[in-house]
C-alpha cells in the first residue's frame, strides 16, 4: 500500500461548494493493527485543515474487522454511498482506494457515483 504524505495546502479542486457539504472519512481495516486505523482516522484532521468545520466531518468506522466482506455486508460503506448518492458529500477520504473495495469494478462504480454527484475522493493524499 502506497501512502503519500498528505498535502497541507487545500487542493484547487476543493471549492466552497464542497466544504458546505460533508467531508466523510471512511475507515476500513480487516485487522486493527493500530497504525492503519489511526492513520485513517487522522484524515479527519486533513479535512479540517482543508476548510471543513468539525460539525461537517463524519468519520465512518463501523466496518472494522470485516476481512473480505462484500459491500452489501458493510454498513459503513453503504452509509457512505447513500450520503454520496444523496449529494451530501463534498469529499470522501480513504487511506487508499482498496478501502472502498478490493474489486476494481466496485471501485470504478464508487468513483462513477461520486463523479456524478460532484463528490471528490481523496486517496493516498491525492484528490480526484
Would you kindly state where each structural domain of the chain is located, as residue ranges? 16-127
Taking only the tens place, the pLDDT of each residue in 14-35 is 999 999 999 999 999 877 566 7
Taking only the tens place, the pLDDT of each residue in 87-122 is 999 999 999 998 888 888 989 999 999 999 999 999
Contact 72, 37 (CB under 8 A): no
Taking only the tens place, the pLDDT of each residue in 33-78 is 667 889 999 999 999 999 999 999 999 999 988 877 788 889 999 9
DSSP state, residue 5: P
Q: What is the side-by-side strand order in the sheet with 89-94?
A: 57-60, 22-26, 89-94, 120-123, 126-127
Verify whether residue 30 is a known catalytic residue: yes
- Alpha-carbon distance 45 to 87, whole Å? 22
The one catalytic residue in 29, 30, 75, 110 is 30
What is the CATH architecture assignment of 16-127?
3-Layer(aba) Sandwich (3.40)
Amino acid at each position: 500500500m502506497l501512502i503519500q504524505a498528505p498535502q497541507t495546502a487545500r487542493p484547487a479542486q476543493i471549492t466552497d461548494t464542497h466544504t458546505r457539504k460533508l467531508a466523510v472519512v471512511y475507515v476500513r481495516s480487516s485487522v486493527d493493527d493500530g497504525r492503519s486505523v489511526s492513520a485513517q482516522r487522522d484524515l479527519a484532521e486533513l479535512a479540517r485543515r482543508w476548510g471543513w468545520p468539525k460539525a461537517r466531518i463524519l468519520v465512518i468506522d463501523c466496518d472494522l474487522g470485516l476481512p473480505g466482506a462484500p459491500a452489501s455486508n458493510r454498513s459503513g460503506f453503504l452509509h457512505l454511498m447513500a450520503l454520496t448518492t444523496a449529494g451530501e458529500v463534498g469529499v470522501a477520504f480513504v487511506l487508499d482506494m482498496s478501502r472502498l473495495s478490493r474489486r476494481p469494478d466496485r471501485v470504478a462504480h464508487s468513483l462513477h457515483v461520486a463523479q456524478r454527484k460532484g463528490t471528490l475522493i481523496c486517496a493516498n493524499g491525492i484528490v480526484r
